[in-house]
């Protein structure tokens, strides 16, 4: 059974303690944070994604036989729910999601050269044959296997016909893709839920542990999820579509624009970061006099989430209005502040002299 976090807080910060004892206490807090990150964020996150993908599969199957407007709307709603559930947990890039191209098979994005779009269009336009089985689909390009491909099948050009065409090839393809997403979601859920599996490795740093040897590495890994998550939103989600000038905008590159959940997805990305940071209690690893940094991170995250949730309408409409541009610029500024707070201020406070990103690969 885990100790109450409040008890740890008292040990670590409320009373003066000898240096050695303080070190041990900080170490205990890091272990606690890692356990909470896995049990209260990662495991439920993948579980929610798995459940949503199951509902999506069922709703797409119902759409194919018999088709109807209502069934199409339901399948689209299930897609949106699944995309948002994935957005909440997609900031986790370590563990099983890094294997067997699982991340890219769920989400091939950004598609800078439109490769994925062209491949899906080749299927729906009849230039290439549809895959007929799940195994056949899994042998094809990752761009044909995941959420963007399914989004196009359900909401792209010509998708309205799904509501009226019996046993269409396009609907069968959508079924296969939904099945594939569910299959990967199951693998991720089960891998993290296994008490003897990957979660055990990440919760128990040790010298013989192949992935994480001590509390410092554990904390760096978690901080990496936060910093890289913010970078991903800033560089891939926002900068990928919102330019410095209107001429450099690319609203058609917005993620999930056909499903209409671009900003719901970005808000879910931010909520995932918030959930990890706060549920795990990452502020508590800071010395009491440094905890203001953690509170400011929480405050900025809450502000960024509220702002993103208030963004209404298609990305192109937002970018055409002065108010919309101002809001997107404010989001960009907030992300920059969160990046500095997490990468530099928090990183320095936990002993990463040059900030977290300094050791980022090159």
Q: Give the residues lining the site for other proteins (CB under 8 A).
A: 94-96, 98-99, 101, 103-105, 108, 110, 112-113, 142, 198, 201, 210-212, 217, 231-232, 234-236, 239-240, 244, 353-354, 358-362
How would you class 356 by CB atoms within 10 Å of its CB: exposed for 0-12, middle for 13-18, buried for 19 or more? Answer: buried
Quote the least distance from Cβ 248 to other proteins, whole Å. 9
Smallest separation, CB 150 to other proteins (Å): 17
User: Taking a C-beta distance cutoff of 8 angstroms, is the pair 17, 25 a contact?
Assistant: yes
Which residue, 19 or 113, has its beta carbon nearer to other proteins?
A: 113
- Least Å distance, CB 167 to other proteins, is 32
Segments of 8-151 assigned E as strands: none
Give the 3-state secondary structure of residue 90.
coil
CA distance 64 to 172: 7
Taken in order 234, 237, 238, 240, the sign of the CA dihedral is positive
**Shorter beta-carbon distance to other proteins: residue 113 or 247:** 113
Q: Please name which of 109, 143, 123, 348 lies closest in space to residue 235, comparing C-alpha atoms.
A: 109
Query: Residue 20: left if φ>0, alpha if ψ -120 to 50, beta else—which one?
Result: alpha
State in angstroms the smallest separation of the CB of 318 from other proteins.
19
List the helix and strand counts (H, then E) for the chain. 16, 0
Contact 286, 346 (CB under 8 A): yes
Least distance to other proteins, CB of residue 220, Å = 8
């Amino acid at each position: 059974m885990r100790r109450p976090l409040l008890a740890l807080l008292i040990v670590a910060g409320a009373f003066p303690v000898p240096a050695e004892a303080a070190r041990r206490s900080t170490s205990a807090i890091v272990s606690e944070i890692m356990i909470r990150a896995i049990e209260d964020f990662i495991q439920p996150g993948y579980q929610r994604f798995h459940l949503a993908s199951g509902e999506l599969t069922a709703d797409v199957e119902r759409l194919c036989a018999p088709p109807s407007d209502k069934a199409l709307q339901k399948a689209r709603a299930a897609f949106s729910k699944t995309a948002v559930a994935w957005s909440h947990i997609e900031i986790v890039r370590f563990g099983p999601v890094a294997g067997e191209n699982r991340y890219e098979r769920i989400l091939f994005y950004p598609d800078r050269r439109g490769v994925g779009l062209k491949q899906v269009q080749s299927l729906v336009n009849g230039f290439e044959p549809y895959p007929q089985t799940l195994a056949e689909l899994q042998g094809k390009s990752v761009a044909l296997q995941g959420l963007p491909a399914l989004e196009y099948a359900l909401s792209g050009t010509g998708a309205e016909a799904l509501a009226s065409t019996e046993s269409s090839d396009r609907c069968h393809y959508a079924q296969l893709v939904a099945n594939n997403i569910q299959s990967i979601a199951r693998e991720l859920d089960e891998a993290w839920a296994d008490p003897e599996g990957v979660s055990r490795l990440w919760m128990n740093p040790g010298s013989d542990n192949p992935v994480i040897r001590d509390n410092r590495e554990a904390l760096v890994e978690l901080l990496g999820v936060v910093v890289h998550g913010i970078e991903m939103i800033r560089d891939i989600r926002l900068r990928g579509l919102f330019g410095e000038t209107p001429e450099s905008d690319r609203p058609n590159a917005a993620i999930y624009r056909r499903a209409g959940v671009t900003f719901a997805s970005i808000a879910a990305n931010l909520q995932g970061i918030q959930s990890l940071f706060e549920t795990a209690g990452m502020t508590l690893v800071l010395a009491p006099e440094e905890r203001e940094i953690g509170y400011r991170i929480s405050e900025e995250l809450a502000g960024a989430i509220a702002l993103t949730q208030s963004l209404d309408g298609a990305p192109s409409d937002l970018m055409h209005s002065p108010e919309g541009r101002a809001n997107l610029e404010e989001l960009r500024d907030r992300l920059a502040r969160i990046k500095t707070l997490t990468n530099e201020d928090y990183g320095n406070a936990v002993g990463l002299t040059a900030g977290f990103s300094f050791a980022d690969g090159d």
